[in-house]
Amino acid sequence: MSVIDKLAGLVEKLYNETADYSENPSDAQLWYNRGYANGVVAYFIKNGFVEKLSTLTLDAPDIYQGEQIMEWHKAYHHGFEMGERESGEVHQK
């Protein structure tokens, strides 16, 4: 199984585990995990792998762009940054 296939599986797993994340604003781990998944999605989009996620209903790319004042914003965006960066790191190896 390729690294891209493993990352696609991770996105699916995290989407399933965080399905109700928006109903739990105090659960930073849920928000981080959803952000991480969306960071991987962003990496896929930038590198032409998004078809690997065709079975999922993806979040809008700019879903939380204007929410900087919310506490969960930090967890979500930290997860997003880590997911995007680490996807590149493992894919480039």
25: its two tokens:
């604003």
The domain total for the chain is 1
Summarize pLDDT for 15-71 with one digit per residue, the tens: 999 999 989 888 999 999 999 999 999 999 999 999 999 999 999 988 877 666 667
Summarize pLDDT for 69-79 with one digit per residue, the tens: 667 788 999 99
- Its domain, for residue 23, covers 3-92
Look up the pTM and report it: 0.92
d(CA 66, CA 50): 24
d(CA 7, CA 53): 10
